[in-house]
Chain A
Amino acid sequence: MERRWLFYPYQLWMLMFTVVPLALIFFFAFADTSTYTFTLDNIRRAAEPVYLRVLWRSVWLAAVSTLVCFLIGYPMAMILVTSRVKYRNMMVVLTIIPMWMNFLLRTYAWMTLLEKNGLFNAVVKLLGAGPVQFLYTDGAVLLGMVYNFLPFMILPIYSVLMKMDKSLVEAAQDLGADAFTTFRRVTFPLSLPGVYAGMLMVFMPAVTTFVISRLLGGGQFMLIGNVIEQQFLAIGNWGFGSALSVLMMVLIMISMMFLSRYNKTGGGMYL
């Protein structure tokens, strides 16, 4: 079949819509747009303490939410794996469905729960206390991240645990290991690829978000995503916005390299 002619249009498509747009970000990040010369000004500005603090805050919040997702997601994955088949399939579907909901709506749902006249404050009121400021705090952002991304942690761990050779666990038990030792020495190490995949799938969207922080968090310069959004859409400083985007890409690349070294079997696509 001679269909070589199909090859070039797609190459052109990719060049135009994948390569060139990314190249433009690098161009604006490293070029002085008035003289078209190479400059490091934008990158240098991104390294100012104000922005480093924002960057640190983004990484910190994303890391904490990843850790929380891991701590509450791992036991859930274990429960899924050890359930009877009948319940298991239903529970897996129940874990997947929230991922299908637009994350804007999931975040908005928490706004309605946490706000001053929301359900949580109604409960607080019933208990006789005054209104508590739930919304527009770091805690609310953290909650939003954990809520939005928890299924991304549970499912990769679940799929790795499912594929695990159960006879290894039996062998450990036959050799006299108690439940905790079996878990610590056999099950957990074998599930690590799933853990790393889950961490990547939670950390990446959490560190790049600007919606969760904008809707649930306080202040304008909340996370790096918010600063980037602001630079492009409100201030119009493309150079600095691009520099921050490059920084974000580098950050993602580092965390991906760090985690994907262990991620040979986990991950995969979940509809």
Chain B
Amino acid sequence: MMRFLRRSYAAIIFGFLYLPIFVLIIFSFNSSKSRAVWEGFTLRWYGELFESSSILGALNNTLTVAVISAICATIIGTLAAFAIHKDMRPIEKKIVMNLTYLPVLNPDIVTGISLMLLFIFVKMNLGIGTLLLAHTIFNVPYVILTVLPKLRQFDNSLYEAALDLGASPSYAFRRIVFPEILPGIITGMLFAFTLSIDDFVISFFTTGSGVNNLSILIYSMARRGIHPTINALSTIMFLTVLVLLLLVNRRVAEGKKKK
């Protein structure tokens, strides 16, 4: 009896969590515009999706911003992690780490607004440039938080041993330190890429008129009402993020196993 209750409860919760997603995906293949009646299979909405220039433009912006901001954030975040790990006195470290955590803890809407104010204040034109900068800025802390643990794990005597054996500091860094922390850097980059694709709130405030990414487009379309092409777009985005995050998770799990 207890077992039956437990199973039904779990089934209800999972039903609650997945029903909306499944309905969304199923009805993206429905040939009628109706969201309640199934009238046959179609790929029409996917076709419309790939013919719409506004959607393709937004997709292009999303991917461009995600790739460039992930790369920039990875470089900046990795260097910052080195600086935090190597160069700081404990008190400095504490202040810097708290400031690094601040954007992670702050509500997105506050981060978005504060960056918008900054960009307008220094008279930057809001557009793809500010979008890119904003994404880089909010990605940096996440890269730091994935690279820093790797640096802490690294056994510095290996580096010293390489120096003792006659390696130059840069050679020792390239051959000993870098390969050891590379998994952390790649995880951080994938993480940054995913966060960038997923972001809506910060993008919404830091982009200019006419420059959309997918999230902003979905928001403005959804505000006007419901259309099956959004279902198709949602399905594609859901699957993309799912695959990416499975990759990240696998890397993290493998890293843990190695440890």
Q: Which of A46-54, A114-122, A167-175, A180-188 lines the interface with chain B? A: A114-122
Indicate whether B176 reaches chain A with its CB closer than 8 angstroms. Answer: no
CB atoms of B21 and A232 under 8 A apart = no
Count A-side interface residues using an 8 Å CB cutoff.
75
Name the B residues within 8 Å of A79 (CB-CB): 6, 9-10
Assembled-state Cα–Cα distance A218/B84 (Å)? 47
Measured CB to CB, the nearest residue on chain B to A246 is B110
Indicate whether B83 reaches chain A with its CB closer than 8 angstroms. Answer: yes
Assembled-state Cα–Cα distance A269/B113 (Å)? 25
The 8 A CB mask of B185-199 against A (1 = contact, 0 = none) is: 000000100000010
CB atoms of B115 and A98 under 8 A apart = no
Residue in A17, A105, A238, A248 whose CB lies within 8 Å of B118: A17
Known: A76-B9, A118-B35. A111 touches B117 (CB 8 A): no
CB atoms of A150 and B17 under 8 A apart = yes
Indicate whether B96 reaches chain A with its CB closer than 8 angstroms. Answer: yes
Name the A residues within 8 Å of B87 (CB-CB): 3-4, 6-7
Interface of B is mostly: helix
Measured CB to CB, the nearest residue on chain B to A100 is B245
Indicate whether B249 reaches chain A with its CB closer than 8 angstroms. Answer: yes
Query: Which parts of B88-121 form the interface with A (CB within 8 Å)?
Result: 88, 92, 96, 99-100, 102-103, 105-111, 113-118, 121
Query: Which parts of A106-160 form the interface with B (CB within 8 Å)?
Result: 106-113, 115, 117-119, 121-122, 147, 150-151
Known: A10-B84, A11-B96. A229 touches B109 (CB 8 A): yes
Residue in B80, B105, B113, B118 whose CB lies within 8 Å of A10: B80
- Nearest CB of B to A107, in Å: 8
8 closest A-B pairs by CB: A21-B114, A109-B20, A122-B36, A6-B83, A208-B107, A10-B80, A7-B87, A24-B117
| Chain A interface residues (CB < 8 Å from chain B) | 1, 3-4, 6-7, 9-11, 13-14, 16-22, 24-25, 28, 72, 75-76, 79, 82, 91, 94-95, 97-98, 100-113, 115, 117-119, 121-122, 147, 150-151, 204-205, 208, 210-211, 214-215, 225, 228-229, 232-233, 238, 241-242, 245, 248-249, 252, 256, 269, 271
Task: Give me 4 other A-B pairs in contact (C-beta within 8 A), A17-B137, A75-B9, A215-B223 excluded.
Answer: A3-B87, A150-B16, A211-B219, A242-B117
